Structure 1
């Protein structure tokens, strides 16, 4: 596979009557001249890091070196434990894990860039939350990561997963689409439903800019990870209900590429525009760097 079309991957999986993850695993094993077990072992190693990262940021005393982030995952967890969440425990737990992983990243903790460090909290939040809720095992999560990876490869090949190139839509947007794809498969959805979930999640964040305050992956990046996790659940829920994207997923990815090309440099990770240019952001910049 060239990994330049999600529709092609889904169609081939349907033709073989297998899940996307199974097709991707077989294809990658042949391409890399490795056994499927070898590739699953490598992915299992990443899964272990993912699991730890969803917990290590939940610390009320933990703060990043800049002082801009830390403690929010703990606040969210307390709200979930108190049964006070508006959207129910699943979304609340996912938000907690997204914040935890992202705050752990900001504190120089170990994370999996999925697909980037700036969007590292989305896939972990979605996968570990649904695994806890539905009692899924590691084997299922490992296979879901292959599905997510295939989506990420297509987006990287057709558009970009870099905020400096395509804005935050290319980072948190891509991660959200990857997470939505994995979530649909884990919940028994068809390859066609995976397509629609990817398209819906990406359409929801088209034009999202990359404007990190003080040039650090903290504000607004961490909270955008929480948003991306919620977006993945919404997209998967719609797709599993049989709701379709009227615009095919590959065309949505191409649109994301076009939108990214139109975004001005000040809104592409340079910290020269957007939230990074606000008076408060400039104050933080001066406090941190002088």
Structure 2
């Protein structure tokens, strides 16, 4: 597949030269690479956003208990909590991000944005943003294109998989995508959008991937919620014209450098971090025995 842009600077310079909005070259890229019409791409965006909203709805209305027992309706519990740490809107943001990711952990349908392990971040952010600011679906679809463009560049420069660069590469990229989407929807310029991406990347830098029992459940689900909050805070900072100082391309390069130097036990191997704690090891042993019992019973 051809590369959209090598850098964020190249993306900005192209848009400035052609006098096109930030999402346009991504749309053109999709049309070219997928060999589809603009209408077909727009239809695919509509379907993707429908699945995101449906994941939020499912997670908040159906039983979300994973087979391991580690995930147990966290989204619903947060939504129903009588305590608002900041506001009702913030509580809903957290609940929705948890709920959408719990759907993935319970084998439901999600949009990998950019990965299934980070699939609660964009839904939680976009559904809440749209509700608060009454943003039309068309604008959300354009924001999704920009998010995709952000992910394409970050994939090339630093990687987007936990097995490659730790959780910083996975939830970090998703948070950066969400921050860019928020900032675009609220009228930020290209510079401000990319500053939001840079600030988000700085905030997520160094986060390890340490799934307990090798399952994308703990701490993955709660990290989706915290990443959604970071995306919002980064956008708020950027929209106030507070500079992240380090340019976005350099921030993403730094993420790649950190990912390369990270030890393998912190890259989705379940050999370090939370997975290596006494409780994490006990859960891993219990889940393994449970899986063996299921296999044995199926053979009878």
Tell me the TM-score normalised to structure 1 length.
0.95
For 1:225-264, list aligned pairs within 5 A. Answer: 225-264=224-263
8 A contact 2:4–2:26 mirrored in 1 = no
8 A contact 2:162–2:268 mirrored in 1 = yes
Once the two structures are overlaid, the 10-residue window that deviates more, 271-280 or 56-65, is 56-65
Give the deviation of 1:61 after TM superposition. 4.2
What is the aligned partner in structure 2 of residue 20 from structure 1? 22
Matches of 2:152 and 2:80 in 1, distance apart? Answer: 36
Give the deviation of 1:44 after TM superposition. 1.1
8 A contact 1:101–1:121 mirrored in 2 = yes
The structure with the largest alpha-carbon Rg is 2
Question: How many residue pairs align between the two structures?
Answer: 287
Deviations along 1:171-215, one digit per CA (max 9) or x if unpaired, are 000000000001100011101111100000010011100000000
What is the aligned partner in structure 2 of residue 37 from structure 1? 39
Backbone CA RMSD of aligned residues: 1.4
8 A contact 2:209–2:268 mirrored in 1 = yes
Specify every segment of 5 or more residues in structure 2 that has no aligned partner in the other structure, as ranges: 290-300
What is the aligned partner in structure 2 of residue 284 from structure 1? 283
For 1:197-208, list aligned pairs within 5 A. Answer: 197-208=196-207
For 1:128-143, list aligned pairs within 5 A. Answer: 128-143=127-142
SS of 1:287's partner is: helix
Matches of 1:142 and 1:200 in 2, distance apart? Answer: 23
Relative to 1, partners in 2 of residues 1:61 and 1:51: Cα closer, same or farther, differing over 3 Å?
closer
Pick from 44, 49, 52: which aligns with 1:50? Answer: 52
Q: Within the alignment, does 1:154 sit opposite 2:156 as a pair?
A: no
What is the aligned partner in structure 1 of residue 292 from structure 2? none
For 1:85-234, list aligned pairs within 5 A. Answer: 85-234=84-233
Matches of 1:70 and 1:8 in 2, distance apart? Answer: 44
Specify every segment of 5 or more residues in structure 1 that has no aligned partner in the other structure, as ranges: none
Give the deviation of 1:60 after TM superposition. 7.3
Tell me the TM-score normalised to structure 2 length.
0.92
Once the two structures are overlaid, the 10-residue window that deviates more, 129-138 or 229-238, is 129-138
Matches of 1:46 and 1:181 in 2, distance apart? Answer: 18
Matches of 1:179 and 1:131 in 2, distance apart? Answer: 13
Deviations along 1:37-56, one digit per CA (max 9) or x if unpaired, are 22111111111111100121
Matches of 1:22 and 1:6 in 2, distance apart? Answer: 14
8 A contact 1:54–1:125 mirrored in 2 = yes
Q: Within the alignment, does 1:77 sit opposite 2:97 as a pair?
A: no
8 A contact 1:7–1:195 mirrored in 2 = no
Give the deviation of 1:285 after TM superposition. 1.0
Relative to 1, partners in 2 of residues 1:27 and 1:59: Cα closer, same or farther, differing over 3 Å?
closer
8 A contact 1:267–1:273 mirrored in 2 = yes
